[in-house]
Structure 1
Amino acid sequence: NCVSLRVHLARYEKFKRQHVDKKMAAQKCTAVMKQKKIYDDNNVCKKTNTFILADAKEVQSVCKGQGVYNNESHYTESKKKFRVVVCTVKKQARKPKCEYKGKCLKNRVIAVSCKDGLPVHFAGDHK
């Protein structure tokens, strides 16, 4: 079905823009969040956003056999561990001056929603 594939591709592109960045670093949170125009739905500073430090193919592989579906959460969890950068908005930050502090975490299992073999939603990460 072409329509649903187009919708999933659009969601995948948004997922990639918001969550996949091989060159991300904790100190780049404010600049990258602004550059990629990552805000909450109501157009305020997004409270927290996680970037997976990998290329798109590596992250895609979670939905193509390199992940395990969790029947409780209904998300697919990666078999391999990833490094992630978590950007958290600073207390008083208001749009357009969204400022973030970043934290790099290693050895994280990532959890995503998969549609047609593509990750379309980042659900979280854990040890």
Structure 2
Amino acid sequence: MADLLRTLTERLAEGRDLDVAADLDVELDGVPLHVEAYTDLVVVTLPSLSLGRRLVGHHGDRSADVAALLDAADLTAEVRVGPRPVARLGADVTPGPLERRLGLGSIRLVPRGLLLAALLD
């Protein structure tokens, strides 16, 4: 993952455009994810909040790097648990007071989505 982030960052620094088109079912650390993108919005769907927390536990230190990369590529990612949005990161995202206090960079949490996902987890 670190190599991928570094390569993409280097290519963006060289002025290369990044186009994203995806409809993928992937697995990261044993967690199934669905990734879909046809515009400048990349949607990552997780099956449950607990599995999302597990991923953040393993890769949370890279979330600011991913958000910065998305911002540099003029892309926005929406993370969903099932159909509920729980976070947005990257371009066109303005962090709120909570995110700024937590030092999350270009990440915006969706408290209502997080609460509903937690209740249904």
TM-score (norm 2): 0.30
Which structure has the highest strand share of the two?
1
Based on CA coordinates, which of the two structures has the bigger radius of gyration?
1
